[in-house]
Structure 1
Amino acid sequence: MSLPGGPTTPVPSSVLAPLVPPRVRPGAGAVVVVVLLGVFGLGAVGLVGMLVGPPAFPAAVALALVPLVGVLAAVLWVDRWEPEPWQALGVAFGWGASVSVLVALVANTTAQTVLLAAGVDELRAGAWTATFVAPVVEEGIKGIGVLVLFLVWRRYVDGPVDGVVYAATVAAGFAFVENVLYFGQAVGEAAVLGDDGGVAVVFVLRAVMSPFAHVLFTAAVGLALGLSVRRGRAAWVGAFPLGLVVAMLLHGLWNGSASLGDGMGFLVLYVVVQVPLFLGTVALVVWLRHREAVVVRTRLAEYAAAGWFAPHEVQMLASLRLRRTARRWAARSGGPSGRRAMRAFQTAASRLAHQRQRAATGRDRLWVARQDEAALLVELSRLRRELVGLR
């Protein structure tokens, strides 16, 4: 494959047997997962709709979509080097929006009811539940979802960036439904009072000041699991509880500042702790994302030395800007199918680079690494032939 004016198609120094990976069809386990998420999803929608009330529900959903779009856009931006399977991301979002929400609603409501029955006043019972119960329950059930995704789609998790992507997607689903609940309650109160000021305040607090709050908390679990893949196959056993504790502490600190302190205390903590923590996390993710580019460039250069890639292909594949240029060229030359082929070529090349990185660091068994490598090289050769035909 070559862009206009580029070198000719590379010729590998060795030819592999035509190993083609078998088509993966949804198994019984996948069907069960989809059905369960659907049932939990319907339950979550029904429960939240009942709590919010039908008149306020549409407006609440519309308001909650605003921060959701921003969060998902950020997740996709982080995930650009080696996009995760859309099925896995769908399950992640579904877990956060259904299972996590239902468990949290039941557990938090039960805890508050128990405190009230024990004679604790309503204001204090709400504050204690938000500070000490909700962080444990919510991060616990979200964390279990991240762990399940990590174990099921483990071969796609190459490092901390992938772990953060899965965790952030689970958190995005949870935050979306939680925002529907909060916005719905505010809209309902506004209808009774005839004043929209409360809706504006809730929107600023949740959609402007803290759209990434849940993402930040749960990302600690994803980061820990992602880092564990570089320590050995069983390292997640110790990494998961460590990440979970950090997520719970961050969540508890956030809720406690809002529930136990006054408004000024919350603002001080927000500026002094939460904003720097968020910016530090962003800087860490950007650096980790840059490390992915280094892996792609280094490992694909090794394949180029063996003749599997031309130098200009490695240059293109190691730059997001040049990747966009290549996709535009493919779209002009071959329309939507050409663009899809170029995107598939880029994704397969990234997976090949990360597969070699896993093999080089001993994280894959040799026979598995060779089989994956052969399948990816066959797929890349097929896509290259398709792209060469666009010239």
Structure 2
Amino acid sequence: MSGYRNTPRISDAPARTTATSDHWLKVFAVGLLLWGATVVVTFLTGNSNLVPTIVLLGSFLVPATLVIWAYERYAGDLGPDRLFACFGVGGIIGVLGASVLESYLVSPSAWMYVTVGLIEEAAKLGALVMVSRRLRVSGLRHGLVLGATVGAGFAAFESAGYAFNAVLSNQGLSLEDLVETEILRGLLAPVGHILWTAIVGGVLFSERRGGRFRFTTPVVVTYLGVSVLHALWDSTSGIAVWLVAKTTASSWQRALFELGHMPHPNSEQVHLYTLYDTVGLLVVSLGGLLWLRLLIRRERAPIPAQLPASPA
């Protein structure tokens, strides 16, 4: 196919220059400074017109910074316009697709988080295919970058929604909840949607041949695997509550819990819940990072030399 580039190896990444290798750090520093200044001014003045600025800056800062870092380090040959399309268009397509499917397919049940994981990972994978189908590239490196970019767009738009919901309360606008939500989601963004979509994107582009995406067994298995990570991530809070109830609850608390009511926890149970929830998120994050490391190590392994053919 004319213009098609097969770049399967991480070592093929374009060389960086000093002039462009630290733009991501400048973007993050300036963005963080502007976000912090907006938060302080909003608290001091009570000007609610600044709330959208806090929401947008806080939701997009970390995802956008990671995309710029990945572009400068591994994907300078793709062009910023391609990554911008994957971030913006891909992120919106993913969010819209997931929202429509979840409204019809998700209902409260023991398998709810599994369904959500399957839907959202499928939506992001579909968005990645749609926005990158005309790109004449393949290989793990490009797949990791493009997948992470779509995941970053999805994470940014989703975080903006969570931040918007957090700021609304029965007592009016809650800036404290807004800031807390944005800090938490910003810290967790790299090991959530961005990491999962990078993994499945890397495998998808590794299996690409002749400009065509192939949903081979490795791609399907990877999609199911990141969906499981997604489901475990979403369910850590519920698992933490269940563990606390099973290990520390009194008889009357257990009775209320079994009836579907949440008893008022004591201070020890609150600390245990935080510990279990944090450990659960760490375990899921480490699982995803280990998976990513294994993909990169396998791709960097030296290619066995071909033995010369024996003379007839």
Partner of residue 267, structure 1: 278
Relative distance call for 1:177 and 1:149 in structure 2 (3 A) is: closer
> How far is the alpha carbon of 1:146 from its aligned partner?
2.2
The structure whose residues are more often helix, as a share, is 1
TM-score between both structures, scaled by the size of structure 2? 0.60
> How far is the alpha carbon of 1:229 from its aligned partner?
4.1
Is the counterpart of residue 58 in structure 1 residue 50 in structure 2?
no
Q: Distance in 2 between matches of 1:148 and 1:64?
A: 24
Structure 2 unaligned residues grouped into runs of 5+: 4-47, 242-272, 304-312
Equivalent residues of 2:137, 2:211 under 8 A apart: no
Relative distance call for 1:109 and 1:160 in structure 2 (3 A) is: same
Relative distance call for 1:200 and 1:141 in structure 2 (3 A) is: same
Equivalent residues of 2:205, 2:213 under 8 A apart: no
Spell out, residue by residue over 1:65-94, the C-alpha distance to the aligned partner (whole angstroms, 9 max, x if none): 2222332233224424x5214443233223
What does 1:1-391 correspond to in 2, within 5 Å? 56-80=51-75, 83-112=77-106, 115=107, 125=108, 129=112, 131-149=113-131, 151-153=133-135, 155-157=136-138, 159-189=139-169, 192=171, 196-229=175-208, 236-238=214-216, 239-262=218-241, 263=273, 264-275=275-286, 277-278=288-289, 281=292, 285=296, 291=300
Relative distance call for 1:203 and 1:233 in structure 2 (3 A) is: closer
Q: Distance in 2 between matches of 1:92 and 1:255?
A: 25
SS in 1 for 2:168: helix
> How far is the alpha carbon of 1:247 from its aligned partner?
2.1
SS in 2 for 1:170: helix
Spell out, residue by residue over 1:161-187, the C-alpha distance to the aligned partner (whole angstroms, 9 max, x if none): 111111111111111100100111112
Q: Distance in 2 between matches of 1:101 and 1:212?
A: 18
Give the residue type in structure 1 aligned to 2:121: E
> How far is the alpha carbon of 1:97 from its aligned partner?
2.5
Structure 1 unaligned residues grouped into runs of 5+: 1-20, 22-52, 116-124, 296-391
Relative distance call for 1:265 and 1:234 in structure 2 (3 A) is: same
After TM superposition, the structure 1 stretch with the greater mean CA deviation from structure 2, 134-143 or 218-227, is: 218-227
Q: Distance in 1 between matches of 2:88 and 2:64?
A: 16
Give the residue type in structure 1 aligned to 2:102: N
Equivalent residues of 1:96, 1:172 under 8 A apart: no
> How far is the alpha carbon of 1:56 from its aligned partner?
4.4
Q: What RMSD, in angstroms, separates the aligned Cα atoms of the two structures?
A: 3.6
Give the residue type in structure 2 aligned to 1:252: A
